Amino acid sequence: MQNIAVFTSGGDAPGMNAAIRAVVRTALHYNIGVKGIVNGYDGLINGDIIDMDSRSVANIIQRGGTILKTSRSEEFRTAEGRAKAGRMVKEHNIEGLVAIGGDGTFTGAEIFCRETGITVMGVPGTIDNDLYGTDYTIGFDTAINTAIDAIDKIRDTADSHNRVFLVEVMGRHAGFIALEVGIGGGAEAILIPEEETKIEDLINFFSKEKRKQKSFSIIVVAEGDDAGGAFDIAKKMKAAIPGFDPRVSVLGHIQRGGKPSAYDRLLGSRLGSGAVVELLEGETNKMVGIVSNELVLTSFAEAIGKSKQVDRSLLKLASILA
C-alpha cells in the first residue's frame, strides 16, 4: 500500500482533528503517502482531494470541529454517486480510506466497500457514543463535560429563583449523553429514549409535599425521549401541577463544539493511528474501537447493526441518587 486518504463525515465531534493528525503522521511513519478528502463523501465524489504532510496537521490537536470539513452527502446514497467516488479513488491512486464518523458514515462505507472492493477502515467519531464495538466514541467525553459545565451554570440560576429547569441534551436515538450528564450534574430525573417516560410518575413526584419543600431541581432530557422534547414535557407538567412554572434550556449544538478533552485527544490519536496500522495489515470494511482499553476491530455491519445498550447499573444509580 503506497497511498491512503482520510476524511470526516456526518456530525462533527471534538477529537476528530486528533484522529486526522494521527492518521497522517502514522502513515508518514510507515512511508505511506496520505491525502485528505475535503467535505466528506461529497468531496470524494467531486475530487476535492489534497496532499497532506506532517506540517498540514501541526497545531490542530487542540481544535474542535474538523479541518477537513464534513457533510451529509445525498449523492453518495445513490449507486451513481458511489461509482463516481470509486473512480476518483482510482484516479488519485488511493489504495485505502480512513473514514471518521458515525453510523451514517459507516453505512455508506460498508456499501461502498462491497460495491467497489476499495479498502476502508472506520474510526468512530460521534458525540452520541452509540456505536457498537467501542466503549467510547470520539467526542463523547468532551460533549458531556460541555453539558455538565452548562448545567452547573443553570443550577446557579435555578437556585436563585427556586425553579425547576428541564435541560435538553443531544441524543435522538440514544441516552448515553443524558445519562452521564444527569448523574454528573446531580439531576433529579433523567429521561432517555431507552426507557419509557411515564409523565404521570414525573408529575406525581414533583407534586409531593416533600418535593415542594426543595428550592430547585434539574431534569435532564434526551432530545429523542419518547415523551417528547423538554418543551413538550415542561408544558405537560405545568398543565398538571398547580403553580408549577418550570424553565427549559436546550443545549443543542454547543455540545459538539469546543476544545476536545484530554481523553478525546488521546482516543482520537489511538484510533486514528490504529486504523492506519490495520489497513497496512490488510483489514477492511471494519471499525477500530477501544474495549476494556484494548484496540479491537468490529465489522461495519456489526457496528451499525447491533444495538449498543446503556449501562443499566447507571440507570439504577441515577434512581438511587435522585
pTM score, two decimals? 0.93
Please tell me what DSSP assigns to residue 272. Answer: H
The 10s digit of each residue's pLDDT in 49-101 is 999 999 999 999 999 999 999 988 889 999 999 999 999 999 999 999 999 99
Pairing of strands 33-37, 217-222: unpaired
The 10s digit of each residue's pLDDT in 287-319 is 999 999 999 999 999 999 998 999 989 989 998
Sheet holding 119-124, edge to edge: 49-52, 33-37, 3-8, 96-101, 119-124, 286-291, 294-299
Segment of 121-130, 198-207, 240-249 carrying the highest mean pLDDT: 121-130
What is the model's pLDDT at position 215? 63
232-256 average pLDDT score: 90
Neighbours of 282 (CB within 10 A): 9
Instruction: Determine the CATH number of domain 3-139+260-305.
Output: 3.40.50.450
Domain ranges of the chain: 3-139+260-305, 141-256
CB distance 219 to 227 below 8 Å = no
* Residue 225 known to be catalytic: no
How is residue 166 written as a grid cell? 428541564
Residue range 141-256 forms a domain whose CATH class is: alpha beta
Residue 86 CB-density burial (10 A; 0-12 exposed, 13-18 middle, 19+ buried): middle
Same fold, 3-139+260-305 and 141-256: yes
Distance CA 144, CA 256 (A): 10
Q: Which of 128, 130, 141, 225 is catalytic?
A: 128
Task: Say which range, 149-153, 200-204, 272-276, has the weakest mean pLDDT.
Answer: 200-204
103-117 average pLDDT score: 93
